[in-house]
Amino acid sequence: MRNRAMSRACAAVVRGVMAMVAIAACDPGADSSGGEGTPAGTDSGVAGGAGAEVVSAEVLQDEGLEGIHREIGYAPMPDGVRLAYIAYRPAGEGQYPVILDYDAYESGGAGIAVGSWFHKAVRAGYAVVGANVRGSGCSEGDTFSLFHPQQGPDGAALVEWLGTRPWSDGNVGMYGVSYPGHTQFFVAAQRPSHLKALAAGGLTASIYREAFRPGGIFNVGFSAWWGEMAQPWIEDIGVALRTGAGDAHCTAVQAAQPRNNAFPEAMEHEYHTQYWNERSPESYAADVEVPMMIIQGYQDQQTAMGGPRLYEQLQGPRKLILQNGGHGVGGNSLAHEQVLRWMDRWLKGEENGIDEEPDVTVLFETGVVDGELRPNWVETFSDWPVPGTERRAFNLGSDGVLTTDALAEGQTGPLTYVYPMGTELVGNNDMFAIPPAPLGSLIYRSAPLAEDLPILGSVRLILHASAEAEDTDFMVVLHDVGPDGETLYLQRAFLRASHRAIDAAKSSEHWTHHPHDRSEPLVPGEVYELVISFPEVGHVFRAGHAVELAILAPSVTPATDWGPMPINMPGINTVYHSAEYPSRLELPVVASISATGPPPQCGTLEYQPCRPRVEPNFTAAGMPRDLLRR
């Protein structure tokens, strides 16, 4: 039996909410116009063995949902297992292009609400289908595991089945953020004939590097949150809708499903082995030939910016949209507008011009203004990485300065800090307000800039360092410091020192690739070059502001969803600054970018916490470093 105590408790609340949705039927016994096989309610057995089944079919009557047809059923796979699906479409007779959301959450029993994505798409003339991957929700099968390889062939079979429904015109697209973004790569690599377009957000290129083990460090916070709470809880939302609509078979399916093992599996697989390779979109992206749109937020708190590197591998028409913000960027109102345009072009054949626009669109300083989400300004580019990007190096000085000049007298020599004493939490403004403990951190800052400094791409840190222990972890953070001392979070990256090996064949001037396939302990006291590439970021440092780099330790405290566990090897770490050991920060400068207006007020950007100037204090953790050295 599946262990679901926590999710069941949450689901009890959810079921009350779902009941209030009151998706009523004008004719509970109406034919779905898409059913084949057993009658509604027939239990064909947990292991399948029957064809498609329609559990219920009805035209909704709630305010704002009038004229929308809902169908709940099971779609057959080649091996007899059946996937739970729910379909919404215009109630009138006709055939419609289909947009599929395919995941391990609630999609197979997803509700529809006025203003939601499903609602917008149906009103725009699409059939929208949600389906659960094998072994999740009400879908049959006992192979559920995070991005199990079977989800690709299953999804391709589902696409082909949807392309032949009586209410389908044969053109199928896929859209989704996070899990249903990732599954698009697995499905598209199978090249089903009815698949015509993709749109995805919240992506990793590697779920090892950009979610479960960033820098080779076990992300216990995210692994536990996703596997033990988030996925089971969200899944139960769809289960509640289906069972409330009369899907008795779902109860038997749920009882037979295996436990979500994402947490112990992530803990068990320490290195980037085949387990992670076959579950990562980067292993499939080069086989994606259908038109694809990728939308991503730089400060994604769950999946750290794999989208741009996936975009580089795509073989068909492609579009990349980037902006500041978190995991939900690919599903916000601005994204919905562009996704519908993309689907209109490739599923309906509308010549709406989206394929003639520049391939890369970047929204800067997006926030809510007068109740509406909008950017301060927008830039477009022909490709990614942006042509003409300059890699501008700032040398790290032992006086705590970032400078584009050669280091002068008084700026060379080593600096030390105590690992793992200093960290920074980026979950929200309250967390971020606590500055790193000086004894456990190194902070480098440029002089106030004489002119705006626009960056777009992956920042890279080349660090020369030693440790007293045989291993240590680095969390490096990029800040913008304003004239009044306000510190704005921009981006961060992680690396376990024993995972410092570089795969030159997969690296470029814009990105350093660590294979994470082995551990190479440090020799205590020996100096090593460590290269750390940050997830991509776009930002304009205004004139009068300063660039700041913080060298810290990770924190297991979730902030917001990530909590990488630092290795338990405390000691003194040393960073070197000299011609022999040139530690430096490389910024991807794109000179053509021009800021419009002043920067947003401190603390107003989503997932970019900001703290006001912190005055020195004399507590043990907050004592200034210069005083500690006396």
Q: Is the peptide bond before 420 cis (omega within 30 degrees of 0)?
A: yes
**Residue 27: band (very low, low, confident or very high) from pLDDT cuts 50, 70, 90:** very low
532, 493 in Cβ contact below 8 A? yes
Chain segment 332-380, per-residue pLDDT in tens: 999 999 999 999 999 999 999 999 999 999 999 999 888 888 999 999 9
Chain segment 532-550, per-residue pLDDT in tens: 999 999 999 999 999 999 9
Give the CATH number of domain 5-285; options: 3.40.50, 3.40.1350, 3.30.110, 1.10.10: 3.40.50
CA distance 271 to 282: 16
What 3-state DSSP class applies to 532? strand
pLDDT value, residue 144: 86
pTM listed for this prediction:
0.91
Chain segment 56-83, per-residue pLDDT in tens: 999 999 999 999 999 999 999 999 999 9
Query: Residue 73, Cα to own-chain centre: how many angstroms?
Result: 30
Q: What is the DSSP string of 192-250?
A: -TTEEEEEEES--S-TIIIIISGGG--BHHHHHIIIIIIHHHHHHHHHHHHHHTT-THH
> How far, CA to CA in Å, does 509 sit from each of 312, 389, 396, 460, 547?
14, 10, 20, 10, 21
pLDDT-wise least confident of 155-159, 574-578, 621-625? 621-625
Decide if pLDDT at 32 tops 80: no
390-628, CATH topology level: Jelly Rolls (2.60.120)
Domain ranges of the chain: 5-285, 390-628
pLDDT value, residue 617: 55
Decide if pLDDT at 26 tops 50: no
Residue with tokens 């679901």: 4
Chain segment 418-438, per-residue pLDDT in tens: 999 999 999 999 999 999 999
Decide if pLDDT at 626 tops 60: no
